[in-house]
Amino acid sequence: MPDTTSLLSFVAAALIVLLIPGPGVLYVIARSLSQGHRAGLVSVFGLSLGALVHVAAATAGLSAILLASSVAFGTVKGLGAAYLIYLGIRTLLAPRAAATLEASTRRSLNRILLDGVVVTLLNPKIAVFFLAFLPQFVDSRGAPVSQQVLMLGLIYVGLALVTDSSYALFAATIRRWLGGRLRQGPLPQYATGALYIGLGLNTALNGRRRW
């Protein structure tokens, strides 16, 4: 494993990256504002499950293949952008219902989890991020590189769970402060749809940014 200094440096750098709101954080905030803390936390777990796939890919060297192939990168990037925009349009066009957090069903939470996984899997910038970020903290004199990359990736995902969950709970608290009347109005639905479309456009137009 990396030495203690490298490990502490990695944790500090990872926390700085994670605390800067990126598309993933905005996705979690949108879910929390729309449906409350349970939906926000489920979306966090969905994003993290998708991130674990990217960690495994980085460990196996598949991220290098994705980075080297502009066609593969462009294809996955386009699919991810299209999916986010689809989520936004679907949200904007959905019939309004005076649904509260208590009315959320298990199926809806399962769908939120799946959406989070798909959003992360179809974001090639995550694969590139892990490929560029994790090796900087690998100790060439220590354990095999693949083992170190895997461990660092798992630590990063664990930290992301904590920071993204904090954002989810904070957004859910704001949602409660806004009161029932605003929660049942059109603003959460329109704001969520607009955020999804914005995230899709961000994915399509920008070449680099953390998830």
Rounded to an integer, the average pLDDT of 153-177 is 91
Rounded to an integer, the average pLDDT of 91-103 is 53
Give CA separation, 192 vs 9, 27, 77, 107, 175, in Å.
36, 9, 21, 19, 13
> Which residue would you say has higher pLDDT here, 178 or 16?
16
Q: Phi first, then psi: what are they for 208, rounded to 5°?
A: -155, 140
Tens of pLDDT, residue by residue over 76-95, are: 667 767 877 887 787 777 66
Residue 16 has pLDDT above 60, yes or no: yes
Q: State the residue for tokens 């959320």.
A: 104
Which tokens in the block code for residue 87?
Answer: 């989520």
Least confident among 2-11, 63-72, 124-133, 184-193 = 184-193
- Note the pLDDT of residue 101: 35
Q: What is the mean pLDDT of the chain?
A: 76
Residue 174 has pLDDT above 80, yes or no: yes
Residue 96 has pLDDT above 80, yes or no: no
Contact (Cβ atoms closer than 8 angstroms) between residue 127 and residue 66: yes
Max avg pLDDT among 45-49, 57-61, 127-131, 201-205: 45-49
How many Å apart are CA 178 and CA 92, to the nearest integer? 21
Tens of pLDDT, residue by residue over 150-159, are: 899 999 999 9
CB-based burial of residue 167 (10 Å sphere; 0-12 exposed, 13-18 middle, 19+ buried)? buried
Max avg pLDDT among 40-49, 64-73, 167-176: 40-49
Rounded to an integer, the average pLDDT of 119-123 is 82
Rounded to an integer, the average pLDDT of 119-147 is 76
- Note the pLDDT of residue 156: 93
